[in-house]
Each structure stands twice: as structure tokens, then as C-alpha cells.
Structure 1
């Protein structure tokens, strides 16, 4: 990890999945200034309300959505920040990107080419003009995945970011992105991402970091079982299912379930 003395700036954990008192305490103890909160299968208004509840003068919580595009077996994740309207999961990738363009959201690529849940190099190239950053370090990655992510960012010549991608509280603050200028609102982060604002990537190291990375990877194996997905999602009652009554028929032409 780079020394704290060289880490002047505004520190953002660019992607966490959970938010409660423990997470906030840990974020503050780790010296973070902001979290990007993007839980799975929760609608935007609920995410925004929870982000407001946990934001204060010490820590800004920025609402976001990690959107699942494609069907379950060919899903591709896209992280959208600055949404103005709810967007469901499991639309076509093109349909999702068109909606994000309409809303002028910041679009970043989490864990590129990781397992079967990520945008690959060809897809990133296809949507490059709409993508604002590519993740180059993620605790769920193996070393080779982080190396490949850095290669992809260089090949498409897009800015980098990193996050804890924390699904477990103790991972919060293990990784962060430091911006040179302060961020006072979600709109500020959107502006910085879309402008390619200068930033640096930091992560902790040592045995404790390695163990937390392994714990996150183990959690991933459970989370991505089809049995779990079928039980909680395919019945159509989840709040981000494209057939949910909240979306009416707005996305019927691009939905896959």
C-alpha cells in the first residue's frame, strides 16, 4: 500500500454492496471520504434513501446501481452512477446502455473480463465512447485478473478506478480511488468521472488484505449459484425484475425475463 503521506486528496471506495453502522464506522476509521453504494436487486429510490440516511459531514454515500445485463448465463455487469430514473436488471446490454445514455449517467466497468459476469474487451471497445472508467483492482480478482484489467484499461485508453467491491463489512476501505479535488455531491463524482479527472489507485497489502480478498472470493462462489438466483429472482417479484409493476411496460422491448 502506498503511504498515507502520499495519499492527499479525496478518498472514495468506488463500489460497496452493503451499508450499515458498522460499514460507516469502518469507512471513517480507514480514512475514506466517500462510498459508492450499489447493492444488488434494490431499486434506485431505496438506494438513494439509504445513502442519504448514512451520509454526514464526515462521509458522503453516493447511490449507484450495478446493473445486470443479458440473461443469467450471459450476464454482464455495468456500474451506473448519477441515475435519475430506475433501471431494471436483465435488459439487453444495448438496451441498458441506451437508457444510461438517455439519463447521462456516469458508466464504469467493474471487474472487466472476470469469470462470466463482466464486459469483455470487445464490448468495452464497442461502448467506449460511453464508458468513463475501467476497474483495475478488485479484491475478488486473482492477481492475473488484476493484471488483465490493467491491460484492458491501457488498450482502450480509458481512466482507471478501483474499489473494495465489499460484500463483507471488513473489506470496506481495503481499496480506494483518490481524486485530487473534493467531491461534495453525487453529481460532483459524475462530473469528475465523465471529465476523466485525475485520480490514483490505492490498496492495502499484507496477510490481512490477502485473507480478506480470499473471503470475498469465497462469498462470490455462493452468491453466484443459479439455484440461489432462481429462488429469489426468476419468480418476477424482485424490485429490479424488468417485469415488476414499478416499471410498467417501459422496458418490454429490451427485457430478457
Structure 2
């Protein structure tokens, strides 16, 4: 299964420029099999998710959230549907434990994009993965991100971080199996049962 784990839409991200329908249609046209809406500090409504899955089946749409942690890092969270994710000012350590208690998945999105140093305790509280490839990660940062992931022993992700439909399709992850549920998706991601696909990085 080809899946993009980091997609925004204009309904729920202030910076989104394409609608949820447009993003799904673009992903289907690009040959992807699934995507995750991970909007900024906003959970994708369950009823909207169900509507999209029914409308575009067998294409799969999952939901997550991109948390802006108080030092400025962006953290991808999957498998947690709790309103406190939208309203609390999270620090990384508290967010890590919260996600762990839910059995969710946590990844560090586009590190070094906004800050030259990472101030969170990621070496003590390991994320499940680090996003190393996307439309919004400069090639010169990739070696540093890959070294970070290697040093802490976690997998890397390739996601579009798309805010517009034209950005979807070049960055994605190839899962070894097709998950039917969010729980199965998280299980595959935690197990590292996937490869990254990116323009300068065909398969890993």
C-alpha cells in the first residue's frame, strides 16, 4: 500500500489551500492507495472521515493531527482522538506520555525546518519515526535528519506535507501490508514494515 501520512486540507488547517476532496482525488490520480489527514492542531471530524471513506472506497483515508509543540517542533500523532490535543499547549514530554498511554504513534515532522536546534528531549523519549523527506524539507537538511534518526535508532518517513493538491504523489511510504484499520496501520508503522519513496530516494 502506498500511503502519505502527512496531508493538510483547507477545512481544518489555516494554511491549507485545497479541500479534503481535492486532496483525496489528487492522491488517487497519483496512484496512492491511502492518506492521513494531519491538520495543524485540529482533529479531522469522524463524520467527515466516514463520508470520505465511503465516497472514495477502496481508497483509504485515515486521520491524525500535527501538534505544534511549545518549542515550535511539529509532532505527528496517530491513533489518539482526544479533544485535549486541540486545546492544550503541549510540551513534548507530556505529549509523548499521553500518546504512549493511548497506544498511538508519534513522529517528529520536518526537524530543523524552523529551528537550527531541537530543544525537545527526543533522545530520552524516542519518537516512533522521523520525517526525513517531504516537499518542505530542503535537500541540504536531509543528511542531518538521517543522522539524527540513525543516532536514536528510529525509522524515517517520506510524506508530502501537502497543503495543495499539486504537491501530492512524489513523497509517500510503501507499506508491506494493507491495513484495514487505524490500529493495523499503527502496528505496521511501529514495526517498521514500510519503505520510503521520494524523488531523490526511490526506495529504502
Length-normalised TM-score, structure 1: 0.67
Tell me which residue corresponds to 1:165: 161
Q: In the TM superposition, what is the alpha-carbon distance from 1:98 to its structure 2 partner?
A: 2.1
Q: Is the 8 A contact 2:41 2:68 kept in 1?
A: no
CA contact (8 A) 1:11 1:33 kept: yes
1:134 pairs, out of 125, 130, 153, with 130
Query: Paired residue for 2:196, among 201, 205, 208?
Result: 201
Other-structure match for 1:15: 6
1:186 aligns with 2:185: no
Instruction: Please tell me whether residue 54 in structure 1 is matched to residue 52 in structure 2.
Output: yes
Q: Which residues in structure 2 correspond to 1:1-257 (within 5 Å)?
A: 10-18=1-9, 19-42=19-42, 44=43, 46-55=44-53, 56-70=56-70, 74-86=71-83, 87-88=85-86, 89-116=88-115, 120=118, 123-128=121-126, 131-197=127-193, 199-204=194-199
Q: Distance in 2 between matches of 1:133 and 1:69?
A: 16
Q: Number of aligned pairs?
A: 187
Taking the aligned partners of 1:24 and 1:41, their CA distance within structure 2 comes to: 20
Q: Aligned equivalents of 1:174 and 1:137: distance in 2?
A: 10
- Unaligned runs of 5+ residues in structure 1 are 1-9, 206-257
Residues 78 and 186 of structure 2 are in contact (CA less than 8 Å); yes or no, is this contact kept in structure 1? yes
CA deviation after TM superposition for structure 1 residue 119, in Å: 8.1
| RMSD, aligned CA | 2.1
Distance (Å, rounded) in 2 between the aligned partners of 1:15 and 1:166: 7
| Displacement of 1:185 | 1.8
- Structure 1 CA distance, aligned partners of 2:38 and 2:130? 16
Q: What TM-score do you get using the length of structure 2 for normalisation?
A: 0.83
CA shift digits 1:28-52 (9 cap, x unpaired): 111111101011242x3x4333222
Q: Which runs of 5 or more residues in structure 2 are unaligned? A: 10-18
CA distance in 1 between counterparts of 2:117 and 2:156 reads 15
Could you tell me whether the CA contact under 8 Å between 1:134 and 1:158 is conserved in 2?
yes
The 8 Å contact of residues 172 and 198 in structure 2, kept in 1 or not, is answered as yes
In 2: Cα distance, 1:84 partner to 1:24 partner: 21
> 2:112, 2:158 → 1: CA distance?
15
Given that 1:121 and 1:152 are in contact with CA atoms closer than 8 Å, whether structure 2 keeps it comes out as: no
Q: Is the 8 A contact 1:67 1:80 kept in 2?
A: yes
Contact 1:17 1:37 in 2 (8 A): yes
